[in-house]
Amino acid sequence: MYLMMVKDSRKLCFRVTPWIMLLALPLLYVDLLRVHIIHFDSSFAGTHYINLSSSEIILTKTEHVANKIVQENEQESLNSLFLKLVKGEGRQKLEATGLGCNGNADTIYCVTNRAVKIDTRTMTVTVPSNQPVKEIVIRPYARKEDVKLLESVTPVKIFLGNDTPSQDCEYTHDIPAVVFSSSGFVGNVFHEMNEIIIPLFITTMPFKSRVFLIMEDYSTQFLRKYENALLRLTGYEIMNPAANQSVHCFPGAVVGLDFHGMLALNSSEPPYGLTTGDFRQFLRQSFNLKYRHVSEIKRPRVMLMSRRSTRRIINEDEIVSVMKDVGFEVIVVARAKVMSDIGLFASMINSCSVLVGAHGAGLTNELFLPDGAVMVQFDLIGLEWAAAIYYGNPARGMGVNYMRYKIEPEESSLLKIFGRRDHIALTDPKGAFSLQAGREVYLNAQNVRIDVVRFRETMVEAMSLVSDSSV
């Protein structure tokens, strides 16, 4: 009797099971849509490397359908992000052909929302399309106007069309790729920030670290220096294509980096909404900086960027005494070794109320100052335009008070060289020399002796600004 009951129950189970499965499938479908459309971040939880030559994947028909739904919705979500990265004609071409490019005087970059193949042996990107075959060559570094410099940047060839050369995928990824170069002026903090780190932040932020970085002209020095920041931009190991030498497939890619301006982000430019304040918050998180606003610093502190070769402050000891007399604690930094440890140096800068220095890459560190702090720049003769464009104007966009200390002829070593105050070299620097000769004169042959009375007035005003500042 017991045996018969068991057999009957098994029959009942087998009869009911198909109906349960049929009822469950719509619920599974709805659940998949809910996970992969609403919760976008969960779509890119990992990167999967699949060696297609040695892996065998067996899926049921139901799993194939479910996976297809997931992939379509992931691609739809990705498409919306790719579209944010381009504007105007570039956006129109992206929608029509699968590849759109934007650029300005400083950069050019291309975005594709198609499943692409990147061959790291030749640095070619293959984009399938029903368009006639087209080849685009990009050197992915945000300094397009410097033709000589770009010769050191490895070019990337993009093939778009229905008859493009292609290789089989060796590795398949479920997140997009961004290709950029760490060539250029690596070792100079201004160029590292201006042409790599900030553009990389702009270009990758929409993907919320679900992006695979391919770094051409791979620099281990650059990677070590900015590791903390790079780890916040991607959750994956950065690829050295020269060492990789294989074919990778991605659901889309960006070749090159967007650029908004000198040390700046523009919220009205793609990907829209990002500000310099957002980038400074990113730096604070990346380097674990303590102070967000200058009012949090109990005792006013000033850092003087001391120079030992060009654009030296001849009477440096005197101006240090002036700053101390005004009431500042003073830190003088001259060693390149200290500045090369960007984590340590960022913390030092962040603990200061005021940054003082002559025009030069060291002023890039204004990025690490807390909001409401002051940056005082010695504006040397012949460098007025560069001083404003590279450091003065960007400081205002950072929420930092910018104070320009204009060097008079009597304070510049050039007066002794050219003999009189009304010499064209002092009154009209733009008309006095060619660009290269002007660089030699004003950047490399000029030192200053600061008027301590005028400088005291500047520092008194700086003290007033940081003392009265509030969040």
Q: What CATH number does the domain containing 413 carry?
A: 3.40.50
Residue type, 396: R
Q: Per the domain annotation, does 51 fall within a domain? A: no
Nearest residue to 226 (alpha-carbon basis) of 346, 118, 331: 346
Tell me, yes or no, whether 188 and 206 share the same domain. Answer: yes
pLDDT of residue 468: 85
Q: Per the domain annotation, does 35 fall within a domain? A: no
Last residue of a domain, one of 266, 285, 304: 285
Looking only at the bridges linking them, the beta strands covering 124-128 and 156-161 are parallel
pLDDT of residue 28: 41
- Tens digit of pLDDT for each residue in 180-203? 999 988 889 999 999 999 999 999
H helices present in 341-438, as ranges = 342-350, 384-386, 393-397, 414-418, 424-427, 429-432, 435-438
Tell me, yes or no, whether 193 and 329 share the same domain. Answer: no
Tell me, yes or no, whether 261 and 314 share the same domain. Answer: no
Tell me, yes or no, whether 239 and 305 share the same domain. Answer: no
Cα 222 to chain centroid distance, Å, stands at: 13
Q: Per the domain annotation, does 120 fall within a domain? A: yes
H helices present in 254-409, as ranges = 276-286, 316-326, 336-340, 342-350, 384-386, 393-397
Last residue of a domain, one of 285, 306, 341: 285
Tell me, yes or no, whether 410 and 308 share the same domain. Answer: yes
Q: Per the domain annotation, does 30 fall within a domain? A: no
Tell me, yes or no, whether 303 and 249 share the same domain. Answer: no
Residue 66, both tokens: 């479910």
Asked if 448 and 411 count as a contact pair (C-beta separation under 8 A), the reply is: yes
Tell me, yes or no, whether 276 and 299 share the same domain. Answer: no
- Integer Cα distance of 398 and 430 in angstroms: 29
Tell me, yes or no, whether 190 and 317 share the same domain. Answer: no
Q: Number of C-alpha atoms within 13 angstroms, CB side, residue 210? A: 21
Number of domains in the chain: 2
- All residue ranges of the chain with pLDDT < 50 are 1-70, 72
Tell me, yes or no, whether 180 and 305 share the same domain. Answer: no
Tell me, yes or no, whether 183 and 274 share the same domain. Answer: yes
Q: Per the domain annotation, does 197 fall within a domain? A: yes
pLDDT of residue 341: 87
Q: To which residue do tokens 């900086």 refer?
A: 289
- Integer Cα distance of 297 and 373 in angstroms: 10
Q: Per the domain annotation, does 163 fall within a domain? A: yes
Question: Which domain, by its residues, includes 378?
Answer: 293-468
Q: Per the domain annotation, does 275 fall within a domain? A: yes
Tell me, yes or no, whether 153 and 87 share the same domain. Answer: yes
Tell me, yes or no, whether 95 and 240 share the same domain. Answer: yes
Cα 341 to chain centroid distance, Å, stands at: 19
Q: Per the domain annotation, does 217 fall within a domain? A: yes
Positive or negative: CA dihedral 247, 251, 271, 233: negative
pLDDT of residue 37: 28
Last residue of a domain, one of 285, 307, 341: 285
